[in-house]
Structure 1
């Protein structure tokens, strides 16, 4: 319950900060992905709000970071899968060994027990 309360205590101010940031940056900006083109002031320019540009870049960074982490953790996922298969194999071998009848004792050991 405390974890949920702390989560809400962090989430509510964070949402408020994001909302205030969006309201403070509503002015329109023109986005151009080609740095070699000069801006022609005679043509009408279509803009998008600055906060959308920043949020889009933030989302893209989070997505690319998540993809990079996912690829780097592939080694660990592969090892975990291999260890799981090995554990299942060893468990089945152990179960088979437990089900197998006990072997007869070696006659030399029986003779040694009788002498003792």
Structure 2
């Protein structure tokens, strides 16, 4: 519930600013994608100014997210490796616990405790 409230407290002001930006910048703008010819460009887009601004912001957020995701790859790899090691350690602890319980059961019944075997390293 708190997360939803915080989400609205962040999203609502951003939405209000985006709508205000769109209303204030309705004029058209020509964007040339041809760096070689200024007089007769091959690729031209005409769109409202707010579309150019919002597309630029969106592209920046996406590129920033991809960059952060890429740079954190080594930490995700380290985490996966640690989880794998933890799984192996838990399995070994469970096996040793079972052997210990079995040995304790034999000792309680008067039998000779079994030798606890260790896996080869």
For the criterion TM > 0.5, the same-fold answer is yes
Work out the number of aligned pairs and report it: 101
Distance in 1, matches of 2:21 and 2:68, equals 29
- Give 5+ residue unaligned stretches, structure 2: 104-112, 116-121
**Partner residue, 2:106:** none
Distance in 1, matches of 2:98 and 2:62, equals 51
- Give 5+ residue unaligned stretches, structure 1: 106-116
**Alignment TM-score, normalising by the size of structure 1:** 0.74
**Partner residue, 1:59:** 58
Deviates more, 1:29-38 or 1:47-56: 29-38
Q: CA deviation at 1:49?
A: 0.6
More strand by share: 2
Specify the SS of the correspondent of 1:86. Answer: helix
The structure number with the bigger radius of gyration is: 1
* CA RMSD across the alignment: 2.1
Write the deviation string for residues 3-56 of structure 1: whole angstroms up to 9, x where unpaired: 54344334323211110101111111111122321234xxxx761111111111
Higher RCO (C-alpha under 8 Å, 6+ residues apart): 1
**Alignment TM-score, normalising by the size of structure 2:** 0.72
Query: Would you identify which runs of 4 or more consecutive aligned residues in structure 1 move more than 2 Å?
Result: 1-14, 101-105
